[in-house]
Amino acid sequence: MATEILMPALSPTMEEGTLAKWLKKEGDEVRSGDIIAEIETDKATMEFEAVDEGILGKILIAEGTAGVKVNTPIAVLVEEGESADAVSSAKVPEPQEPADEAAPAQGAPKEAPAPAPAAKAAEAKAARSEGERVFASPLARRIAKEKGIDLAAVKGSGPRGRIVKADVEGAQPSAAPAAKAEAAAPKAEAPAAAAAPVVSPAASAASVAKLFADRDYEEVTLDGMRKTIAARLSEAKQTIPHFYLRREVALDALMAFRADLNAKLESRGVKLSVNDFIIKACAVALQQMPNANAVWAGDRILRLKPSDVAVAVAIDGGLFTPVLRDAHQKSLSALSAEMKDLAARARTKKLAPHEYQGGSFAISNLGMFGVENFDAVINPPHGSILAVGAGIRKPVVGKDGAITTATMMSMTLSVDHRVIDGALGAEFLKAIVENLENPIAMLA
């Protein structure tokens, strides 16, 4: 029996992607776990792993095709001995499966809306008792594991009843079909919030273009990454009550300590940057001020125990924020090596989703571009983000009252007022400053 291979959702924010490259060709044998294609998501180029087994009978989407929606058929598997000529007839009923599943949901209110999820689960379990194997996409399996969902109790909407991401999310009590549109949870709100800024009405685009009808311009089509950046930052500025705290930090002690360390680590090929010290200082400060190590979760605040620090990395056409997990427990040399690796793979879009998702706090450093100070936009659900400017030699009043010179660096902490109040934010920024001005004590 022919089986459709669908465009997978390789990250929680992915709605469409580019089929960058096929690693199998028509007629090749495919086993479960084989890497069959490379797919560009809104953030990275990722390998697509086969779930089913068979022969790749027909490729429906050519490599290089952009804007392929999640759950769109991209290829068809046939069984051994089955002719590829049967593919076209085999795939006719498949697209109707999601609509078929929606019918019971529409009919459910005739009885009672509430029991629908339970009835669905019982139906799925009963149907699956006939066969032991549970077919689910890798992303669906991961989400189910994280949420403790029994896949045997989930009814799949994919080909041959395969469980996909939407099915696992739909297994949550708050994600029943009738309640999905009304749910107030952040996960339900995010797609709706993201959709508004990205999909502009044609009339609006035409009216803007009309303003420049007599001027030469180049029209740039938004790729997945730019759409995601536009959606998330629009959401952030519209929904997060930002406030800003500014401090200067004296860098002379840190610069001298860094020079001494680098001289001693040169034989090991290690060279620490100022940014490495900033990451460490922030990670330690999150432990010193645990109430600031928090994220906004819609109707509650989540306070994290580890210091998971995200760092903005500029790439061609956008940016990534890879996360350094447990940064407070790592040495400066370990943080430096990990940051270099994450940044290098970010620039080639080779990061896995778990490497750029999460964290409670972020750092954006534009000091290397000569920017003295700026205000960064919080990346939801983070509670704050630190904007770091350039270190500049300037006259200052010393502790003895005499005028001297020092290397001063400006920092601005953007704070989500729903998560962190003014006094707590000030204490958190003070802890970061003290760690940077006393680097030896920070590492003790």
Active-site residue list: 417
- H-state helical runs in 224-383: 224-239, 252-265, 274-288, 332-347, 353-356
Which 8-state DSSP code applies to residue 382?
B
Handedness of CA 267, 269, 270, 271 (dihedral sign): positive
User: What are the angstrom distances between the C-alpha of 424 and each of 383, 414, 415?
Assistant: 12, 13, 10
314 bridge partner residues: 319
* Residue closest to 357 by CA, chosen among 368, 365, 346: 346
Cα separation, 235 vs 96, in Å, equals: 34
φ/ψ of residue 98, rounded to 5? -60, -35
CA distance 346 to 343: 5
CB 323 within 8 A of CB 357: yes
Measured in whole angstroms, the distance separating CA 261 from the mean position of its chain's CA atoms is 34
Residue (of 147, 136, 139) closest to 12 by Cα position: 139
252-265 helix and 422-437 helix, angle to the nearest 10 degrees: 50
Closest CA to 278 of 208, 327, 233, 235: 327
- Best CA proximity match to 312, nearest among 369, 356, 374: 356
What is the DSSP secondary-structure string of 385-409? Answer: EEEEEEEEEEEEE-TTS-EEEEEEE
Distances (CA, A) of 219 to 201, 297, 332: 16, 38, 44
The β-bridge partners of 30 are 54
Q: What are phi and psi of 243, to 5 degrees?
A: -140, 160
Residue 150: enclosing H or E segment and its boundaries? none
Burial of 220 (0-12, 13-18, 19+ CB in 10 A): exposed
